[in-house]
Structure 1
């Protein structure tokens, strides 16, 4: 999938190095320290999980690169999960810090939400209260705060934004 500045493609096991690089970066995982990993084996396991989700459901997390570059700058996509006993599409976006502030997360999120519109589940984003930048991306993508869905996540309170 292409956007004006990005190429989004399905993950492959060879992406484990990029998964490790970005998910061992404390700044990239600052608001979700439970997502930090430290070994290649953990990165391969995470990558396999993403690939398996694609194989089971036909959608999932994408690998992000700037158009014309082989360098992976992050990941964005949706995963089928349960929230308050209902199926939802959890929107995930994580970019390396060097890519922050240029609107690339919003561009990737907009593409993912557009392709998710045909799926029979609402899209939600779980955002930590202090993660203002993530909340801004969710809002710009058309998601709205859904306080009644807020929950406690692995790393603290999850403020829910919903389609």
Structure 2
């Protein structure tokens, strides 16, 4: 049975093929490095943007979560979500921002409330009623009242005080 030829015969053809393979591998490595550098730059820009002081307009919009009482209209929710998007025009926070929580001032039995920026849902939580997913991690900070609100991200909590200053809490 004949053996299959793995390499072409002739020294020049083999050398040319090897040289082309090395060049292709080199270009592939350079492209991967460039993509990694770009991803690192994008992440650094995102972190820098999310660490900035929050604007008074954004702070006022989030404060309106309790303004409508236990019920809030869809137009009010849309206004709050639009203010959130306007606060971060350069970056896409879809997929990394899980929600915003704050102390609820509606009185007993409510303790905290949350805003889901994707679905545009505002929900008020009674004492002892669990919050979904990572929002529960922000509950004690929000209920304590030293912060205006807590932004819940995939990798951290960003506690925003009344002046708009941001404190990052890794989770």
TM-score (ref. length: structure 1): 0.26
Larger Rg: 2
Higher strand share: 1
TM-score (ref. length: structure 2): 0.25
Higher helix share: 2
